Structure 1
Amino acid sequence: MSQTSDQMELREAEITAHYPMALSMLQGFDHAPRIGKGKEVAQQERSSGVGTRRRFRTTTPGLVTRRTVPTGAVQLMATIEGADDDDALMSPVQATTLNALRRAISIALAVAENYASVSGLGDLKRANLEGALPAARKTEFAELLAAEALITLYVFGNATAYLLSAHQTEVTAEVGEIEEILTDNGQTALHGCLWELDQDIAIHAPDDAHLVATITAFAEALMEKVSLRAQNAPRLAPFTGASWHVEADDFTVQGFTPATKAKTQTLTMTFKKPHEVVGNHIAKYQAMKLAKMLMAYDFDRRLNPFAELGGFIFTFMGDGKPGTGKTTLIQMMAGLINDYCSVAGYAFRYQNLSTDNIDSYQGKSGQNAKAFISNVLDPGVIGFGTIDDIDQLAGKRGDRQSSAGQLEITAVLMESFAGANTVVRGNCTFGMFSNYPENVDDALRQRAGARFLVDGPQTREDYIDILALLMGKNHDIPMGAHELFSAQEIKKAVAASFDSHNRPHEAGLMDVFDRVHSDVGELDTIAKLGTYLKAIQQADERFTGRAIKNITDAVKVRAMDFELPDEWMENPELFLFKTYDEKKAMIEDLRVPITVDMVVQEINRYADSEFRYADKSDEVAIEAMVRDFGRQEEAKKRYLGGER
């Protein structure tokens, strides 16, 4: 798990000091491209130097020239002013866009200046200007300049997308891959990307809506290209290990992580109360705990004490038969988080990734999945992301029935949930739900840190409760000898549910458990527990080291086997508004010791789910083969009968 560092304030004076240079870049500069190719653009004739004042319009009506721009002047301000179907006045959106670009360039230059100061690049620049740069440090100097260029480009793209996000409409634009990525130094890098942006605006932006869409699409494509380059670039630690906050814009630079506006999403779903979720005791209990865990997130530190102490559920999978209550569980958890955030004044964002996000265009499904992940991960909000019917949405590798779009989504989810760049801050959680988890790719399924068996009502009392709940109040039928919802008392029900996992539930795992138990006796030491885990692996080769990590994470969750008191959610001053260290200390006081019973129960719970998935998968495959054999036999009979 990666942790975040303390923020530094990027002072307004540092930003505005770069306004003159930023304005100069927007008005005009010369650039000879080295990587990108000039794009043929149909546009009004423009005289040299016009970008320094209001646009000069040709006196010949309808005169249009063609230009290919491999070299020469870049006049971005004039190009933006021209994106309005020949309106003689600058529109408010154009003015806002130019201000946003000037601001973004200035922020990028200010952050690059901070980086140069802390990395030693500033000293090397001065030595180079004086002709006193040691030969032994030339390689270091070149690497630092390349790092400065990448930082400048990324912060420019990040700030641009952030500042224009409030002005986006439903109009979209496709600008393609950014080519002119130069790494000589920060200023040269900006010249290269602004040269390319100038052409994209001329091609794709005939009006204000397309202007914002084009610049936003360009900024996002720029961030993606630069972040990929940065993965293998040296000298970036002073940038990735720090963060800068711009107070006036509420914009935070946090390494190569996109910043987004902390907006609460208006939810239209029907929320459910906990007592309306009948059965599913462990799943309901863990969902209720997780909703409160999310609220412990500290927006200043950008970290959750639960994520640091262990026991935070970043990803989970809920599986069960159709109609057992998966949607109701989602509605309950989203409702709880929404209510808690309303009391605290936090921004809450809920998003669901559905089959509508599978696109026939190559790469678009993956982009949709990345956008979903980024929106939920936004460190400025409390996020809850769900992937319902994930077996239909994410393709299983090796399955010929999986489309290219489904496989793209699988790759994005795998990288996002447990990839090299995954940062668990503790401000969000992702839930995957399926009626057929055996059809989910094994590696993706194992990225679910917790398993919620959504098995619906089980007991006589459960069925009475759900009948009374769904019947409503428009009847006079007496209740009879039953105390409504008493069986849904969560603590009592959960204790019984956990105790039931002292022994496995699945037949295949029972055999393994009994065999190990007869060989080593009670599983009361680390060595004996490890023996049991190895025996499970021998029975199911998919039970790998990731499974052990998920089990130990679940045990740590059990060590946090408490609900934060309701009054802490109702009165934010008691907990939510305290400092990070105060919240951490309060949580540590509630933590309980880890016991052998907890470990055995969590091993059984996790392994039961894997055996359950394997048994279902095998049974489905066997049934399919039986049907195929049956069809072959019937076809053979008909064929032979026809010959006669």
Structure 2
Amino acid sequence: MSMPADQMELREEEIRAHYAAAATMLEGVDHTPRIAKPKVQVTAPERSPGIGTRRRFRSTTPGLVTRSTARPEGVRLVDRIEGADEGDPLVSPVQATVLHALRRAISIALAMGEGYAGQTGLVGLKKANLEGALGADRSAEFTELLAAESLVTLSVFANATAYLLAAHASETSVEIGAVEEVLTDNAGLALHGALWELDQELATFADSEDKLVPTVMAYAEQLMEKVSLRAQTAPRLEPFTGNNFRVEADDLTIAGFTPARAAKGSKITMSFKKPNEVVGNHIAKYQAMKLSKMLMAYDFDRKLNPFAELGGFIFTFMGDGKPGTGKTTLIQMMAGLINDYCQVAGYPFRYQNLSTESIDSYQGKSAQNAKAFINNVIDPNVIGFGTIDDIDQLAGKRGDRQSSAGQLEITAVLMDSFAGAGTVVRGNCTFGMFSNYPENVDDALRQRAGARFLVDGPQTRDDYVDILNLLMGKNHSIPLGDFEPFAAQEIKKAVAASFDSHNRPHEDGLVRVYERVSRDIGKLDTIAKLGTYLKGIQEADERFTGRAIKNITDAIKVRAMDFELPDEWMENPELFLFKDYDTKRAMIEELRQPITVDMVIQEINRYADSEFRYADKSDEAAIEAMVRDFGRQEEAKRRYLEGKG
């Protein structure tokens, strides 16, 4: 199998050369904790009679002169792991799996650290230091390179551990808290500290075999997160972050400090809906169907979707509407479509919903839950769909005294993840935020929704006949009458009518702006006139910023991609899904349509209508709250005066 051009191979012989050292570390190392405080006494459980003790391992990193006067603590992970089964003298399959995964992960980490040292000249500096020939002018460089090598080694160890054990994860979860013993003196000491803390967590939480894998994975994920934060400000990491490394035997790609979780889909227990079971909501349904097929164009080798490169991919969207208008049904339809397409193509599909259960009173835990949700969905090895239902309850509005600390933590994570400095849109996943009350969502977070799906439910007489007929089921003999079922739900016809309705604005405030600008400058048929209209909107609503313009232009690019990938491309993967990236890109470009003035006006009106609608509702809610406060004050005064009288 050929290696993609942007990946470097980490050769198997380089990894296996470290097996002996890795096994020795698992058998026993000495480590004196420097940062973390011991949770338990570190002596490993007693071995069964007749089994001898193993030797301990001390750091022999070349070129380093280190000394510790404190009492070292022995760490014997093999004993700890084999003792997590209430004294069974035989090693179980689960224990063997964990030990093999740890040995493999340590070996990969050591090989990566060795490669980094060779690439950066650290090997020569270590040799000079060992010989006492390291000049003072190279001391700072030496220290920085050692710290960088430590971070690389720790990250790869944690990353590989989580990846290798992902297939053995269960529904059991363990909360271990933050990792503390992250050392950057040198790679060997860093690994010793990590193994010492892992031993502490196993002794604390893995009191039965079913908690063994969850504890190791929880530790690995916490270590990855802590090291990634350290790496944001650490120098000399470009040789590691600037390349992708491939471990072919494990199908593992190491891309800097990004977690490389195994391509494992999630079990979906929801009841899927077919498109014809979504009545009304024509634009929202059409965009959801298009987006479901767009996701399938993702190229797993290139780790990129042609739609994300060409423009028109929807990374985040907001679905809003009154209660009972069909938001849940829309989610069920979209998840069902993606699931069916992925089953045909053999792609792993991961669906996850961020619910109110993610809000936690423990400081930082809500943010941790939200970040885990984001990371699971954006995993470049799967097709992902993440939903945040009732986002107005889940994410706090900044400045609102009713918002809890946990809600504000979730808001901060979502804002950074959806449009932060480090946000990378590969085109393998999408996030849908849904709300009955979008006016209660933080303005900045709401504007991070690149597309707006107005979920307005059934509107016409035909819609109401269709939904009644659908929900009545088959257990009756009432005649349908002179009516063709679901004819009104014919998607292209309905969508065209819905888009045409946005040739003029709907909300009163926006209508006034549109009419004034049109009266002053005439028909909106040039970029300059359209820009004048946008400025008029901003003058009427100061929240209409540059981010709003970006969302509008993204929506226009989506309209340029105003086509559905043919159904046969989804049914027969050989026709499109299994083509190489460049071929898929060319096939999509052939279907792209030119952008028209009507498209631009319609998308400006659609987006601005939604903002005016949110603003009006938000202002009205604030006014009603003030009226209630004034009323309570007057009633309090009346009762107070009556009491004094």
Question: TM-score w.r.t. structure 1 length?
Answer: 0.91
The CA deviation at 1:640 is 5.4
The CA deviation at 1:31 is 3.1
**Root-mean-square deviation (Å):** 2.5
The CA deviation at 1:40 is 4.4
Q: Secondary structure at the match of 2:563?
A: coil
Provide Cα deviations, 1:303-335, integer angstroms capped at 9, x if missing partner.
Answer: 111111111101100000111111111111111
Asked if residue 518 in structure 1 is aligned to residue 515 in structure 2, the reply is no
Within 5 Å, give how 1:245-324 maps onto structure 2: 245-324=246-325
- The residue that corresponds to 1:151 in the other structure is 152
Asked if residue 196 in structure 1 is aligned to residue 194 in structure 2, the reply is no
| Conservation of the 8 A alpha-carbon contact between 2:569 and 2:575 | yes
- The residue that corresponds to 1:51 in the other structure is 54
Asked if residue 116 in structure 1 is aligned to residue 117 in structure 2, the reply is yes
Provide Cα deviations, 1:101-148, integer angstroms capped at 9, x if missing partner.
Answer: 110001111222333344444455566667776765543343232211
Counterpart CA distance in 2 for 1:319 and 1:423 is 26
- The residue that corresponds to 1:56 in the other structure is none
Within 5 Å, give how 1:212-231 maps onto structure 2: 212-231=213-232
- The residue that corresponds to 1:623 in the other structure is 624
- The residue that corresponds to 2:30 in the other structure is 30
Counterpart CA distance in 2 for 1:205 and 1:457 is 53
Counterpart CA distance in 1 for 2:314 and 2:5 is 22
- The residue that corresponds to 1:57 in the other structure is none
Give the gaps of 5 or more residues in structure 2.
57-69
Stretch deviating more after TM superposition (168-177 or 445-454): 168-177
| Conservation of the 8 A alpha-carbon contact between 1:154 and 1:222 | yes
Counterpart CA distance in 2 for 1:32 and 1:270 is 54
- The residue that corresponds to 1:64 in the other structure is none
Stretch deviating more after TM superposition (376-385 or 482-491): 482-491
Instruction: Go from structure 1 to structure 2 and tell me whether the alpha carbon gap of 1:169 and 1:569 turns closer, same or farther (over 3 Å shift).
Output: closer
Provide Cα deviations, 1:224-246, integer angstroms capped at 9, x if missing partner.
Answer: 11000001112222222222232
Within 5 Å, give how 1:391-410 maps onto structure 2: 391-410=392-411
Asked if residue 587 in structure 1 is aligned to residue 581 in structure 2, the reply is no
Counterpart CA distance in 2 for 1:463 and 1:392 is 30
| Conservation of the 8 A alpha-carbon contact between 1:43 and 1:202 | no
Counterpart CA distance in 1 for 2:44 and 2:303 is 49
| Conservation of the 8 A alpha-carbon contact between 1:50 and 1:78 | no
The CA deviation at 1:520 is 2.0
Provide Cα deviations, 1:19-48, integer angstroms capped at 9, x if missing partner.
Answer: 01111212223334443344541756879x
AA at the equivalent of 2:581:
Y
- The residue that corresponds to 2:450 in the other structure is 449
Identity of aligned residues (%): 77
Counterpart CA distance in 2 for 1:38 and 1:457 is 61
- The residue that corresponds to 1:418 in the other structure is 419
Instruction: Go from structure 1 to structure 2 and tell me whether the alpha carbon gap of 1:358 and 1:95 turns closer, same or farther (over 3 Å shift).
Output: same
- The residue that corresponds to 1:530 in the other structure is 531
Q: Secondary structure at the match of 2:250?
A: coil
Provide Cα deviations, 1:427-480, integer angstroms capped at 9, x if missing partner.
Answer: 110100000000011111111111111111111221222122222233333333
Instruction: Go from structure 1 to structure 2 and tell me whether the alpha carbon gap of 1:637 and 1:143 turns closer, same or farther (over 3 Å shift).
Output: closer
Provide Cα deviations, 1:227-286, integer angstroms capped at 9, x if missing partner.
Answer: 000011122222222222323322221211112222222222121111111111111111
Instruction: Go from structure 1 to structure 2 and tell me whether the alpha carbon gap of 1:410 and 1:560 turns closer, same or farther (over 3 Å shift).
Output: same
| Conservation of the 8 A alpha-carbon contact between 2:40 and 2:203 | no
Counterpart CA distance in 2 for 1:296 and 1:402 is 39
Stretch deviating more after TM superposition (258-267 or 555-564): 258-267
Count of aligned pairs between the two proteins: 626
Provide Cα deviations, 1:335-354, integer angstroms capped at 9, x if missing partner.
Answer: 11111111111111111111
Instruction: Go from structure 1 to structure 2 and tell me whether the alpha carbon gap of 1:570 and 1:358 turns closer, same or farther (over 3 Å shift).
Output: same
Counterpart CA distance in 2 for 1:95 and 1:153 is 22
The CA deviation at 1:11 is 2.6
The CA deviation at 1:356 is 1.9
Stretch deviating more after TM superposition (607-616 or 453-462): 453-462
Stretch deviating more after TM superposition (263-272 or 426-435): 263-272
AA at the equivalent of 2:85:
D
Question: TM-score w.r.t. structure 2 length?
Answer: 0.91
Within 5 Å, give how 1:562-601 maps onto structure 2: 562-601=563-602
AA at the equivalent of 1:108:
A
Instruction: Go from structure 1 to structure 2 and tell me whether the alpha carbon gap of 1:223 and 1:70 turns closer, same or farther (over 3 Å shift).
Output: farther
- The residue that corresponds to 2:65 in the other structure is none
Counterpart CA distance in 1 for 2:258 and 2:505 is 43
Stretch deviating more after TM superposition (112-121 or 149-158): 112-121
| Conservation of the 8 A alpha-carbon contact between 1:51 and 1:76 | no
Asked if residue 17 in structure 1 is aligned to residue 20 in structure 2, the reply is no
AA at the equivalent of 1:391:
D
Counterpart CA distance in 2 for 1:557 and 1:5 is 30
AA at the equivalent of 2:153:
T
| Conservation of the 8 A alpha-carbon contact between 2:45 and 2:80 | no
| Conservation of the 8 A alpha-carbon contact between 1:74 and 1:198 | yes
Instruction: Go from structure 1 to structure 2 and tell me whether the alpha carbon gap of 1:17 and 1:43 turns closer, same or farther (over 3 Å shift).
Output: closer
AA at the equivalent of 2:20:
P
Stretch deviating more after TM superposition (564-573 or 189-198): 189-198
Instruction: Go from structure 1 to structure 2 and tell me whether the alpha carbon gap of 1:487 and 1:50 turns closer, same or farther (over 3 Å shift).
Output: same
AA at the equivalent of 2:280:
G
Q: Secondary structure at the match of 1:22?
A: helix
The CA deviation at 1:9 is 3.2
| Conservation of the 8 A alpha-carbon contact between 1:5 and 1:242 | no
Within 5 Å, give how 1:546-557 maps onto structure 2: 546-557=547-558
Instruction: Go from structure 1 to structure 2 and tell me whether the alpha carbon gap of 1:98 and 1:620 turns closer, same or farther (over 3 Å shift).
Output: same
Counterpart CA distance in 1 for 2:44 and 2:291 is 58
| Conservation of the 8 A alpha-carbon contact between 2:167 and 2:264 | no
Q: Secondary structure at the match of 1:248?
A: helix
Counterpart CA distance in 2 for 1:175 and 1:473 is 52
Counterpart CA distance in 2 for 1:412 and 1:365 is 9
Provide Cα deviations, 1:503-548, integer angstroms capped at 9, x if missing partner.
Answer: 1111111111112222222222222222222221121111111111
Instruction: Go from structure 1 to structure 2 and tell me whether the alpha carbon gap of 1:151 and 1:607 turns closer, same or farther (over 3 Å shift).
Output: same
- The residue that corresponds to 2:207 in the other structure is 206
AA at the equivalent of 2:559:
R
Within 5 Å, give how 1:70-149 maps onto structure 2: 71-122=72-123, 124-125=125-126, 136-149=137-150
Q: Secondary structure at the match of 2:147?
A: helix
Q: Secondary structure at the match of 2:267?
A: coil
Instruction: Go from structure 1 to structure 2 and tell me whether the alpha carbon gap of 1:409 and 1:44 turns closer, same or farther (over 3 Å shift).
Output: closer
Provide Cα deviations, 1:554-601, integer angstroms capped at 9, x if missing partner.
Answer: 111111111111110011000000001111111111111122221221
Counterpart CA distance in 1 for 2:37 and 2:643 is 68
Within 5 Å, give how 1:233-244 maps onto structure 2: 233-244=234-245
Counterpart CA distance in 1 for 2:497 and 2:13 is 62
Counterpart CA distance in 2 for 1:5 and 1:370 is 31
| Conservation of the 8 A alpha-carbon contact between 1:465 and 1:484 | yes
AA at the equivalent of 2:243:
A
- The residue that corresponds to 1:66 in the other structure is none
| Conservation of the 8 A alpha-carbon contact between 1:438 and 1:614 | yes
The CA deviation at 1:639 is 5.5
The CA deviation at 1:90 is 3.2
Asked if residue 349 in structure 1 is aligned to residue 372 in structure 2, the reply is no
Provide Cα deviations, 1:162-202, integer angstroms capped at 9, x if missing partner.
Answer: 22233334444443332322223322221222222233333
AA at the equivalent of 1:569:
M
Stretch deviating more after TM superposition (168-177 or 503-512): 168-177
- The residue that corresponds to 2:63 in the other structure is none
